[in-house]
Structure 1
Amino acid sequence: MEDIERARDAYSKGFYLEAEKDYERYLQIEPQGADRKEAWDRLSEIAVTIKGDYDRAVVLLEAMYLELGGNANEAWKIMFQLGEVYAELGNRPKAIESFEKCLMHAEGNPEHMYRTQLRMARLYRDMGSYDLVASTLENCADSASESESKARCLYELAQSYSFISGWGQARKALEQLLELRGLSEETHALAVFLLADIYEHERDYRRTRELLESILTTYPNPKVVESRLGNLPDVQPEPIPLKPPSE
């Protein structure tokens, strides 16, 4: 136990290189040690947050998964961290592969399922795969067990549709979000603000104004709402006349 105690002491004092060596030695000489999970956790933490050595983090996390992956909760945590590391390395296919393994280990845990799907959707969006973004976020909303989690999935879905000018789908997602009960004031305000964006894009300035005025005191930054209201046209534009049918 001398190595693990020395490693803890070095880690607590910020001597991370010394701690790293002792944690590594502990793993080598204590194949059945009770503190192996602690050693793996500290080594991966040092690799990622202290040294920024993501390639080493991949090796550590994959080895950690082989040893501790029999426990679904631990397996999910390891694979989720591995997915984040691959994303940092710019290896999106391997990141997606890691998060897909997360989904397998998230069965029966709505919080893990929600977090994994939300993270995967953001990766798909970075990749420009908006069909996968939509399907993943729809599944995310369906599987979420709490209103706030479901709302987050629907908000991300609406945002993603707005990025590709899918205004109708974005509005539908936000309207579904706003029907949820038990939402926090901030979540409600953020959704209303995005919905106002959509109505403004459609040049329905009256409805835009109504929505923005409804969140003047609840939006996280009221000055942004005030600025938006101040820049709205005073009058509703004339509807674009329809062309008469050709004779």
Structure 2
Amino acid sequence: MRRILTLILLAAAMCIAAACSSPSSPGQEDIERARESYSKGFYLEAEKDYERYLQVEPQGKFRKEAWDRLAEIAVTIKGDFDRAVVLLEAMYLELGEDRDTAWKIMFQLGEVYSELGNTSKAIEAFEKCLIHAQGNPDHIYRTQLRMARLYRNMGSYDLVAATLENCADSARDNEAKAKCLYELAQSYSFISSWSQAVKTLDSLLALKDVSDETRALGTFLLADIYENDREYAKARALLESILTTYPNPKVVETRLANLPEVEPEPLPLVPPPSQ
């Protein structure tokens, strides 16, 4: 009798141990296996397990992780942008009530549509980003900057100017403001609106608390404009001022080496031929 009681207690203990070691939810093994596969670079296996987790865990606490990983695999590993659109739109429907999450999903969706060459859908996604970005200056700034580049690719320079001016006005700090102004100056230079470009760059360079790199980029563009206007002395002075701060100093050195030393002499007046 004592032997039987011991066996019963042992069996009960084993059952308890088994219960403790079993997954706490139907998809626990799937999510753990997916994480392990992803960490080892086995992305196709990870993709299958993340998909299975979403299927068996409709209320699972790791659903956002699974969606994020699936979208990442589709975009960066497989380059399957059509699948990424489907994943991100489904993710937005499920998680879009959280403003911050919704902004991130729409921003990524806008980038994916840009890769697909669907500019109208990309703009639509970024417009939704702006709605979700309210109250977050950083999100507003990043969205407006991205939209302006799309407008520029479309050749809609009136929308570029309006978006970047608004970007500069609502920037969270001077560094963000400077980047908006730099993009605006670049856009003016693309349409040969030199006076507007110079005015914008002067505003950028007058700002305080701007990173050396951003300031150097603005200075380089201003030097480019002065060189285009044959004001070589001004261009040289500007280029020499960023020899140690421009991201690629070799570019500055090359420009300086090829820059004329003096201003060009005005062409002499040729008297009209005698009658």
What is the TM-score normalised by the length of structure 2?
0.83
C-alpha separation in 1, matches of 2:200 and 2:174: 14
Task: Determine if the alignment matches structure 1 residue 53 to structure 2 residue 99.
Answer: no
Find the partner of 2:177 among 132, 142, 150: 150
Select the structure of larger CA radius of gyration: 2
Find the partner of 2:131 among 104, 112, 117: 104
What is the aligned residue count?
Answer: 242
Which 5+ residue runs of structure 1 have no aligned equivalent?
242-247
Question: Which residue pairs with 1:219 in the alignment?
Answer: 246
Judged with a 3 Å threshold, the aligned counterparts in structure 2 of structure 1 residues 217 and 11 are, in CA distance, closer, same or farther, namely: closer
C-alpha separation in 1, matches of 2:43 and 2:261: 62
Q: Is the partner of 1:47 in helix, strand or coil?
A: helix
Task: Determine if the alignment matches structure 1 residue 184 to structure 2 residue 204.
Answer: no
Q: Deviating runs (4+, > 3 A) in structure 1? A: 237-241
**How far 1:240 sits from its partner (Å)?**
8.2
C-alpha separation in 1, matches of 2:86 and 2:176: 32
Deviations 1:139-161 (A, max 9, x none): 11111111111111111111111
Question: Which residue pairs with 1:245 in the alignment?
Answer: none
C-alpha separation in 1, matches of 2:259 and 2:44: 58
C-alpha separation in 1, matches of 2:30 and 2:241: 61
Deviations 1:159-214 (A, max 9, x none): 11111101111111101101110112222121111111111112222222222222
- Superposed CA RMSD in Å reads 1.7
C-alpha separation in 1, matches of 2:42 and 2:237: 57
**How far 1:4 sits from its partner (Å)?**
1.4
Give aligned-pair identity as a percent. Answer: 78
Q: Which letter does structure 2 place at the counterpart of 1:55?
A: D
Judged with a 3 Å threshold, the aligned counterparts in structure 2 of structure 1 residues 231 and 113 are, in CA distance, closer, same or farther, namely: same
What is the TM-score normalised by the length of structure 1?
0.92
**How far 1:219 sits from its partner (Å)?**
2.4
C-alpha separation in 2, matches of 1:217 and 1:53: 41
Q: Which letter does structure 2 place at the counterpart of 1:113?
A: I
Judged with a 3 Å threshold, the aligned counterparts in structure 2 of structure 1 residues 204 and 110 are, in CA distance, closer, same or farther, namely: same
